[in-house]
Amino acid sequence: MSSSYPTLKSMGISSTENIEKFTLRYENSQDVLKVYYRREKGSLLPKSKKFKFGRSTKTVLADGGQQTYRQVQEPSLIVVRAMEELEQIVGKQKEEKVTREELINEIEHLEKVMQNKISEIKHKINALK
């Protein structure tokens, strides 16, 4: 199982059979790979794991005749290999049409997260008085 996914194993991902989906986004000059797992209701195991990868910067010749150079950022080889292995596990993910209900659920979840964070910060402020 894990021997066929050496990159994921090196990242600490061992239960590849429980991987449900993954996302990759670019944030603060880093690639952020988030792996989501299928979990039974009430499971204490995390539903997701997040991995951050820096990008390498290379200087390349932009225009052969002008001798103009520019800097290009490339994703880490590890994140590229991890994506290939994840695609083997869950299959190529296609862009799905987002439903109104999914967006409402996402907003409601974000509101809860923000409210909890605001409460936490207010509690810290009150503790400083």
Residue 102 has what pLDDT?
81
Residue 67 has what pLDDT?
76
- At 92, the pLDDT band (50, 70, 90 cuts) reads low
Q: Give the C-alpha separation, 94 to 82, whole Å.
A: 18
Q: Which SS3 state, helix, strand or coil, does residue 37 take?
A: strand
Cα dihedral value 51, 57, 62, 64, nearest 10: -120
Q: Which of 28, 45, 27 is nearest to 36 (CA)?
A: 45
Instruction: Examine the domain organization and report whether 129 and 81 are in the same domain.
Output: no
**Boundaries of domain holding 12:** 2-96
Residue 106 has what pLDDT?
86
Instruction: Examine the domain organization and report whether 128 and 67 are in the same domain.
Output: no
Instruction: Examine the domain organization and report whether 65 and 84 are in the same domain.
Output: yes
Instruction: Examine the domain organization and report whether 75 and 13 are in the same domain.
Output: yes
Instruction: Examine the domain organization and report whether 40 and 80 are in the same domain.
Output: yes
Instruction: Examine the domain organization and report whether 109 and 48 are in the same domain.
Output: no
Q: Which pTM was predicted?
A: 0.59
- At 98, the pLDDT band (50, 70, 90 cuts) reads low
Cα dihedral value 48, 109, 53, 80, nearest 10: 70
Residue 3 has what pLDDT?
64
Number of domains in the chain: 2
Tokens 């997701």 -> residue: 48
Asked if pLDDT for residue 2 goes beyond 50, the answer is no
Q: Give the C-alpha separation, 91 to 75, whole Å.
A: 21
Q: Which residue has the higher pLDDT, 20 or 93?
A: 20
